[in-house]
Every structure is written in C-alpha cells, then in structure tokens.
C-alpha cells in the first residue's frame, strides 16, 4: 500500500515520508547538458526497465527511479550522470567513488557515469541488486 502526497501526488511507501514536492519537467534537467548525457540517460533507463516495473519522478535536483521506493537517483552535470543507488554491503570497486552507510542494511553508492562503455555488466548487476533490495523492503 502506498501513501500519496496531497501536495505533489507522488506515491510513497511510508505515510508522510519526507520528500521534495518540487516537480520539475525532465527536459529541464537536460537543458544545460551535452546531448550525449541525455543519450546515456536514455540507455540507462532502457537497461533498468529490464528489471521490472519502474516509476520515474523528476524533482528539483534529481531524476528518481523507483519500484516500491527509490532505488536509483540520477543527478546531471554538463558532461556526465551521477548515479546514487543502494546495496546491502559496501563495494569499493571502480567506478564507485563514494559510499555512505545509512543503516545496518543500506549503503548508498555513488558512481560517475560518462560513457556507454561505463554502463557495463558490473554496474547493471549493482543496479539490479538495488532494485531487488528495495523491492524486498
């Protein structure tokens, strides 16, 4: 069962879940990026859609991809994407450049994605693990 925010109509797993109600057209995120960044984002979404049902929310500072709740956040710069995703353990392999443990069972991983080649099998395995971890609750 989901809770729907009465201000922004976004659905959340938890009632009164803290979030930003600032909905931003997705195109606005790409307005200051190179075309290659949007192409890379589109390829990423194509791959992530293979995991199962996803929802995409475009908010002020990120594009959030969720199943039950957010499992992947994309933040854009002019030339690359920053991906933030959850795992139940810490990975310190490239291209992970930072991790933050937020609970006993959740570690946020940060990856800078600049090219198609970096959207490799290892990264997709981590993203699918994030999808499955969040789906379990």
Binned at pLDDT 50, 70 and 90, residue 84 comes out as: very high
CATH topology of domain 23-136: 3.90.1150
Q: Which two tokens stand for residue 98?
A: 């930072």
- pLDDT tens per residue, range 92-136: 998 999 999 999 999 999 999 999 999 999 999 999 999 999 888
Q: Quick: pLDDT tens for 39-58.
A: 999 999 999 999 999 999 89
6 alpha carbon, distance to own chain's centre: 23
Residues in the chain, total: 137
Q: Is the pLDDT score of 8 beyond 80?
A: no
Per residue in 8-32, is it b (16+ CB within 10 Å) or e — as a string?
eebbbeeeeeebeeeeeeeeebeee
Q: Contact at 8 Å (CB) between 109 and 99?
A: yes
């Amino acid at each position: 069962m989901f809770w729907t925010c009465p201000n922004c109509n976004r659905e959340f797993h938890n009632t009164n879940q803290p979030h930003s109600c600032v909905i931003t057209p997705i195109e606005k995120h790409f307005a200051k990026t190179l075309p290659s960044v949007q192409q890379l984002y589109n390829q990423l979404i194509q791959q992530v859609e293979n995991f199962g049902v996803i929802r995409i929310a475009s908010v002020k500072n990120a594009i959030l991809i969720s199943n039950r709740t957010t499992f992947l956040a994309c933040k854009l710069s002019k030339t690359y994407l920053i991906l933030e995703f959850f795992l139940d353990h810490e990975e310190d392999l490239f291209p992970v450049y930072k991790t933050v443990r937020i609970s006993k069972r959740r570690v946020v991983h940060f990856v800078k994605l600049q090219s198609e080649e970096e959207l490799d099998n290892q990264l997709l395995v981590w993203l699918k693990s994030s999808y499955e971890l969040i789906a379990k609750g």
